[in-house]
Amino acid sequence: MARAPQGATGYEVRGADGADLTAVNLHDGEELRFGGQERVSLSAEDDGVTTLTGGSTLRVRTRAGWGADESLRFGEDGEDLWPAQFHRVQALTVHHTAMATTDDHAADMRAVYHLHAVQQGWGDVGYHLLVDPRGVVYEGRHSGGGLPIFRGVPLPGLAESVTAGHAFGFNHGNIGVCLLGDFTDELPTQAAQDSLVDVLRILCALTGVDPSERIEYVHPDTGAATEQEAVARHRDWLQTECPGNAFSEVFDTVIRQRVARGLL
């Protein structure tokens, strides 16, 4: 075991395929555990401190866990159709798929993947994480590394997310979380709402995004600035009905305020 140099703000642990890894925080004595091939875990303090130890745990069903066909990400010549790019996280955005779900939510995930990767020609899922009606969280966009969403271990204010495709013109440094289902006329299940709150709360702690604030989102390529909610709905960025009229009407109270209260 190698000890991180004094003054280091983060470290990355890698092992052979199938290996069980444990990253130990030698400062506080807590542990950050990464599971096997079917699930991974990230831990963060709910008060947004800079370590990733203790507090809540976000369990994500990996792409392997929901049966992603990774060949869809590559062209006939083997080229990556959507190479990973990373930018510092500035915002979180909530969506719905606007598609009916089935009793097999892993199959629902594969349907979204096929729609985005093949039918729309993107080469991958446009969302970073997705949540099913039972509250199970799924890994979306391929990050190119060992962790969902991030390049390396995320640290508040420094975390970099892989660029996805969920808010045209505002995708860089914007984490997209999508609920499976159509919430035009009905609300997500309570399990989905609760899971979404947990996901957003932990992502805020990992990245340093303050869900109670409005931000000035700055496009890293063009420098264009846009004032926006730090935790936003898709329709806050663009003219769209996403994440559904019924859900959008209550979003501030049933989601955003709950996320903020959990970080006080």
What's the N-to-C CA distance of the chain in angstroms? 36
Give the pLDDT band of residue 216 (cuts 50, 70, 90). Answer: very high
Per domain, the residue ranges of the chain are 69-262
Name the least confident of 18-27, 57-66, 157-166, 167-176: 18-27
- Give the start-end residues of each E strand in the chain: 21-24, 31-34, 39-44, 56-61, 86-88, 91-96, 129-131, 137-139, 160-162, 174-179, 214-218, 225-229, 231-233
> Which helix (DSSP H) or strand (DSSP E) does residue 259 occupy?
helix 257-262
Give the pLDDT band of residue 4 (cuts 50, 70, 90). Answer: low
pLDDT given at position 199: 93
Average per-residue pLDDT for the chain: 85
List the 39-44 sheet strands across, edge first: 39-44, 56-61, 137-139, 129-131, 174-179, 91-96, 231-233
Give the pLDDT band of residue 213 (cuts 50, 70, 90). Answer: very high
More confident residue, 162 or 44: 162
The one-letter amino acid at 60: V
Percent of the chain with pLDDT over 70: 78
pLDDT given at position 26: 38
The CATH superfamily label for domain 69-262 reads: Peptidoglycan recognition protein-like (3.40.80.10)
* Residue 254 to residue 250: CA distance in whole angstroms: 6
pLDDT given at position 5: 54
Give the pLDDT band of residue 259 (cuts 50, 70, 90). Answer: very high
pLDDT tens-place string over residues 125-136: 999 999 999 999
- Say if residue 248's pLDDT is above 70: yes
pTM of the model: 0.82
Mean pLDDT of 187-198: 97
Identify the CA nearest to 163 among candidates 173, 151, 154, 155: 173
pLDDT given at position 47: 40
CA angle 168, 170, 172 (to 5 degrees): 115
* Residue 123 to residue 117: CA distance in whole angstroms: 4
- Say if residue 256's pLDDT is above 90: yes
pLDDT given at position 145: 72
